[in-house]
Chains A and B, each alone.
Chain A
Amino acid sequence: MTAENIDRSCGTVFLVDDDEGVRKALGRLLRAHGFTVRSFDSAVAFLRTFPATRPACAVVDLRMPGMSGLTLQECLNDAGSTLPLIFITGHGDAPVADSALEGGAVAFLQKPLGEGQLLDAVGRALALHDRREARPWREGDASRSGRVHGPEGADGRRSGAERHEPPAAERVAGMAQR
């Protein structure tokens, strides 16, 4: 399994869910599997402290007060972030799932979560982030993100991606201020 192949001790999982019980439980589960976990109770809180850690991924609740999971994805994509996202939701809403996957989400998981499913998704996400860091930003990545961007915007982000995450983090933090 892909999940078993990665070195978990160096992987960080950002957990973004407004429900404290879910946050605590998923955090405990992921930590039990050796991941480093950082929890946030809202998308805005996450963006505000957007950590430039590698390799990392974010497990994001789709439905949250204030900024929703999809909006967060939009923000990150707009800022040129390469952070892989895994969506979790209580609603098996197909159009929303499609939209999330088109936006570059690694997985779209139904609550309650299967342990294997979650670990597999997290493993793949971390591996993806690891790879994204290792190679420069490519046109294919932008198209995979599913966002409709002009070539100028893609170019701008590419230069940011080449200089790795920090510039994206700055942009994201700027977005969070709005």
Chain B
Amino acid sequence: MSSPTEPAGFLEGAPLVPVAISTDTGDVTYVGPQAVELLGYSIEVWMEPGFWNARLFPDDQVSVAQARERLVAGGESHTIDYRMEHADGRILWLTEVMALERDGSRIQGFLQDVTERKRQEVALWKSEERLRSLLRLAPDALVLTEEDGKILNMNDQAEALFDYRLFEVAGSCIDHLIPERLRGRMADLRGAFDRDPIRRSLVDGHGLAIERSDGTEIPVEVGMSLVSEEEGSRHILCSVRDLTTRRRVEAQLRSSERRLREMANVVPALVCFIGTDERFRFVNDAYAEWYGWERGHLEGRRVREVVGEEFHRRLHSSMDAAGERTAAHFQCEIQTATGHRRPVDVSIVPQFDDDGLRTGHFVVMRDITSEVEARQSDLRHRAELAHVSRVATMGELTASIAHELNQPLTAIVANAQAARRLLHREAPDIEEVSEALDDIVADGRRAGEVIASMRQLLQRGEIQEEQVEVTGMVGEVIELLRSEAIGRGVHLSTRSPAGGLPLVMGDPIQLKQVLLNLLMNGIEAAARATSDSRCVEVSATLDGAEIEIAVRDGGPGLPANSEELFQPFVSHRPGGLGMGLAISRTIAEAHGGRLWAEPRKPVGAIFKFRLPI
């Protein structure tokens, strides 16, 4: 170093201010002329005793004093920063580079105004601090880049994800961390983001991946957000989300879906899942085949477009009905791809997520064509057998029915004869003639009813389901058997509640056939009794949800095992086919009812026929 009183001339033009300070007093013993400009004080002021301490920023006085003491005690030189007050009141940051004079009397060196640099440093520090904590705390891997993609910073998560350290990739473009084939996509994303950074904070990273340092690829989703600096520079913060976990869950879902699909394909049923948007979410092969679609084309399609308006309406209302976590169930006919209508059994099971919200419905349909056909052929056989039995029964009743028909015919003939006679009188009794004609009409109707009733029982009809009024039906059968009972000296009576009975569902002919059989058996049994108990009583009563028709006779009673009466070809009636009770029981059971026999006290039998209402 040259003499402090003669500082190197070249330094005078630099923004460095030479200065020398007494180690004893701490006052300035020399200062370069640039000092005037530095703090706005004249050289004389600088040289005043106590100048330094008076202008030093109070917070920095302790640290400056300590630094200088260290320097005096044996340090060679130091560089410290501190703040001093400008003459105009501004606080400036100064850096001093000082060294101790060999004789220890003073320290000398340079001062430099570093206010601008300090300000920048603080600002940078502050923003970096913010960013660092943000980067550290974020769960995702974050990479800060410049607008062109040059990497500025990344957090620990990003380092772990990419398996690179920051220093290894800082300054290179983020695109280099993307597999080569996807780089174009990444650039596109950045371009799209660039055009509309405000709206687009998360880029759809579908199908994007990164390449780790070892060359492996990891599927990711990339989001971008803009980080503006105070100076107007723009940085992009990229969040890179590892999709591996999600992919694994998705893969699990796919495999469970595949299992479901495999299972659903094994099930001999049409299975589909319909979302709340009324689109197919899932269909099994059988379902797709039924409607003649490729499975892949069916999924996602609107249900209404596929199944047709009619069935859609049915499904829709059933799905509504199945809302309360209960399955709905119905049978109907639906159309196949080939246009055939086939009967199906449909179950609709609502599905709910963990929060109890309905996610859709499973619809399981079963083709029940063969069941329906079997049922129909069963019905047909039953109907045929019942018909044969009825014809046989009516054969036994021919004489009685002829008599029953003869009564109205007799009345008609007699009335006609009477009317003719009355008209041939000198003073015809027109009123009486008119009454005779009225009676003819009534008796003609009566004969017609007997014939209709007989024809009904003889006809080979399809089985019908209708509402049947039991009391009326009992009355009609009694009417048909009245003559038979009289002829065999058996007293027929009926008993039914005054308020009437509820209707039952069934085939009126077959139900009548059961009654006819029971009554004919009763008459037959009673005819073999002593005169006191030659009676048959028919009662119809309501018991809970069933109507009980009981036929009581005063006959000889039942065999030890009354069940054998219901075996086919077991006849207790001369001329009977032995099918009556067997068929009657079949009919009763087909109507959801029962038919059995009980002994009657003191003598006779009771046949009970129960039907659900």
Interface residues of A (CB under 8 A from B): 18-19, 21-22, 24-26, 28-29, 31-33, 63-66, 68, 88, 90-91, 111-113, 115
Query: Which of A21, A31, A32, A68 is within 8 Å of B446, CB to CB?
Result: A21
13 extra interface residue pairs, beta carbon distance < 8 Å, beyond A22-B407, A22-B410: A21-B439, A25-B439, A28-B432, A28-B435, A29-B414, A29-B415, A32-B417, A32-B432, A63-B483, A90-B407, A91-B399, A91-B487, A111-B406
Structural contact, B414 and A22, CB atoms closer than 8 A:
yes
In the bound complex, how far is the Cα of B432 from the Cα of A88, in angstroms?
24
Structural contact, A25 and B436, CB atoms closer than 8 A:
yes
In the complex, which residues of chain A have a beta carbon less than 8 angstroms from the beta carbon of B446? Answer: 21
Majority-rule SS of B interface residues:
helix
In the bound complex, how far is the Cα of B409 from the Cα of A19, in angstroms?
12
Query: Which of A18, A26, A68 is within 8 Å of B414, CB to CB?
Result: A26
Interface residues of B (CB under 8 A from A): 399, 402-403, 406-415, 417-418, 421-422, 425, 432, 435-436, 439, 442-443, 446, 483, 485-487, 489, 491-492
In the complex, which residues of chain B have a beta carbon less than 8 angstroms from the beta carbon of A112? Answer: 406, 409-410, 412-414
In the bound complex, how far is the Cα of B296 from the Cα of A28, in angstroms?
88
In the bound complex, how far is the Cα of B93 from the Cα of A12, in angstroms?
157
Query: Which of B410, B418, B485, B492 is within 8 Å of A111, CB to CB?
Result: B410
**Given the known A-B contacts A21-B446, A32-B421, are A65 and B414 also in contact in the complex, defined by CB atoms under 8 Å?**
no
In the complex, which residues of chain B have a beta carbon less than 8 angstroms from the beta carbon of A22? Answer: 407, 410-411, 414
Q: Which residue of B lies closest to A30 (CB)?
A: B418
Structural contact, A32 and B486, CB atoms closer than 8 A:
no
In the complex, which residues of chain A have a beta carbon less than 8 angstroms from the beta carbon of B421? Answer: 29, 32-33, 115
In the complex, which residues of chain A have a beta carbon less than 8 angstroms from the beta carbon of B492? Answer: 65
Structural contact, B491 and A24, CB atoms closer than 8 A:
no
In the bound complex, how far is the Cα of B447 from the Cα of A90, in angstroms?
14
In the complex, which residues of chain A have a beta carbon less than 8 angstroms from the beta carbon of B413? Answer: 25, 112-113
Query: Which of A25, A28, A65, A91 is within 8 Å of B403, CB to CB?
Result: A91
A-B pairs with beta carbons under 8 Å apart, 20 shown = A21-B408, A21-B411, A25-B413, A25-B439, A28-B415, A28-B435, A29-B417, A29-B418, A31-B418, A32-B422, A63-B486, A65-B486, A66-B491, A68-B489, A88-B410, A91-B487, A111-B407, A112-B412, A113-B414, A115-B417
In the complex, which residues of chain B have a beta carbon less than 8 angstroms from the beta carbon of A65? Answer: 485-486, 491-492
In the complex, which residues of chain A have a beta carbon less than 8 angstroms from the beta carbon of B409? Answer: 111-112
In the complex, which residues of chain B have a beta carbon less than 8 angstroms from the beta carbon of A32? Answer: 417-418, 421-422, 425, 432
In the complex, which residues of chain B have a beta carbon less than 8 angstroms from the beta carbon of A33? Answer: 421
In the bound complex, how far is the Cα of B436 from the Cα of A25, in angstroms?
7
Structural contact, A21 and B436, CB atoms closer than 8 A:
no
Q: Which residue of B lies closest to A64 (CB)?
A: B486
Structural contact, A25 and B485, CB atoms closer than 8 A:
no
B405 to chain A, nearest CB (A): 8
Structural contact, A25 and B415, CB atoms closer than 8 A:
yes
Q: Which residue of B lies closest to A18 (CB)?
A: B486
In the bound complex, how far is the Cα of B465 from the Cα of A153, in angstroms?
65
**Considering the complex of A and B, which 6 residue pairs feature the smallest CB-CB distances, nearest first?**
A90-B406, A25-B414, A21-B411, A90-B403, A29-B418, A112-B413
Q: Which residue of A lies closest to B408 (CB)?
A: A21
In the bound complex, how far is the Cα of B407 from the Cα of A18, in angstroms?
10
Query: Which of A18, A28, A63 is within 8 Å of B436, CB to CB?
Result: A28
**Given the known A-B contacts A28-B418, A33-B421, A63-B486, are A21 and B491 also in contact in the complex, defined by CB atoms under 8 Å?**
no
Q: Which residue of B lies closest to A91 (CB)?
A: B403
In the bound complex, how far is the Cα of B485 from the Cα of A64, in angstroms?
10
In the bound complex, how far is the Cα of B482 from the Cα of A66, in angstroms?
12
Q: Which residue of A lies closest to B429 (CB)?
A: A32
B367 to chain A, nearest CB (A): 58
Structural contact, B486 and A28, CB atoms closer than 8 A:
no
Structural contact, A19 and B407, CB atoms closer than 8 A:
yes
In the bound complex, how far is the Cα of B486 from the Cα of A26, in angstroms?
21
In the complex, which residues of chain B have a beta carbon less than 8 angstroms from the beta carbon of A113? Answer: 410, 413-414
In the bound complex, how far is the Cα of B408 from the Cα of A112, in angstroms?
9
In the bound complex, how far is the Cα of B483 from the Cα of A29, in angstroms?
24
In the complex, which residues of chain A have a beta carbon less than 8 angstroms from the beta carbon of B417? Answer: 29, 32, 115
In the complex, which residues of chain B have a beta carbon less than 8 angstroms from the beta carbon of A115? Answer: 417, 421
Structural contact, B418 and A21, CB atoms closer than 8 A:
no
Structural contact, A28 and B414, CB atoms closer than 8 A:
yes
Q: Which residue of B lies closest to A23 (CB)?
A: B411
In the bound complex, how far is the Cα of B412 from the Cα of A24, in angstroms?
10
In the bound complex, how far is the Cα of B478 from the Cα of A65, in angstroms?
13
In the complex, which residues of chain B have a beta carbon less than 8 angstroms from the beta carbon of A90? Answer: 402-403, 406-407, 410, 483
A59 to chain B, nearest CB (A): 11
Structural contact, A24 and B411, CB atoms closer than 8 A:
yes
Structural contact, B487 and A25, CB atoms closer than 8 A:
no
In the bound complex, how far is the Cα of B485 from the Cα of A18, in angstroms?
13
Structural contact, B442 and A21, CB atoms closer than 8 A:
yes
In the complex, which residues of chain B have a beta carbon less than 8 angstroms from the beta carbon of A21? Answer: 407-408, 411, 439, 442-443, 446
In the complex, which residues of chain A have a beta carbon less than 8 angstroms from the beta carbon of B425? Answer: 32
In the bound complex, how far is the Cα of B443 from the Cα of A115, in angstroms?
18
In the complex, which residues of chain A have a beta carbon less than 8 angstroms from the beta carbon of B432? Answer: 28, 32
In the bound complex, how far is the Cα of B97 from the Cα of A85, in angstroms?
165
A20 to chain B, nearest CB (A): 9
In the complex, which residues of chain A have a beta carbon less than 8 angstroms from the beta carbon of B410? Answer: 19, 22, 25-26, 88, 90, 111-113
B324 to chain A, nearest CB (A): 60
Most chain B beta-carbon contacts within 10 A, residue among A24, A63, A90, A91: A90
B419 to chain A, nearest CB (A): 8
Query: Which of B408, B418, B435, B487 is within 8 Å of A63, CB to CB?
Result: B487
Most chain A beta-carbon contacts within 10 A, residue among B402, B418, B435: B418
In the complex, which residues of chain A have a beta carbon less than 8 angstroms from the beta carbon of B411? Answer: 19, 21-22, 24-26
In the complex, which residues of chain A have a beta carbon less than 8 angstroms from the beta carbon of B403? Answer: 63, 90-91
In the bound complex, how far is the Cα of B418 from the Cα of A21, in angstroms?
13
A120 to chain B, nearest CB (A): 14
Q: Which residue of A lies closest to B489 (CB)?
A: A68
In the bound complex, how far is the Cα of B417 from the Cα of A111, in angstroms?
14
Structural contact, A24 and B439, CB atoms closer than 8 A:
yes
In the bound complex, how far is the Cα of B417 from the Cα of A22, in angstroms?
13
In the bound complex, how far is the Cα of B439 from the Cα of A29, in angstroms?
13
Most chain B beta-carbon contacts within 10 A, residue among A19, A21, A26, A113: A21
In the bound complex, how far is the Cα of B129 from the Cα of A152, in angstroms?
149
In the bound complex, how far is the Cα of B439 from the Cα of A121, in angstroms?
25
In the complex, which residues of chain B have a beta carbon less than 8 angstroms from the beta carbon of A28? Answer: 414-415, 418, 432, 435-436, 439
In the complex, which residues of chain B have a beta carbon less than 8 angstroms from the beta carbon of A19? Answer: 407, 410-411
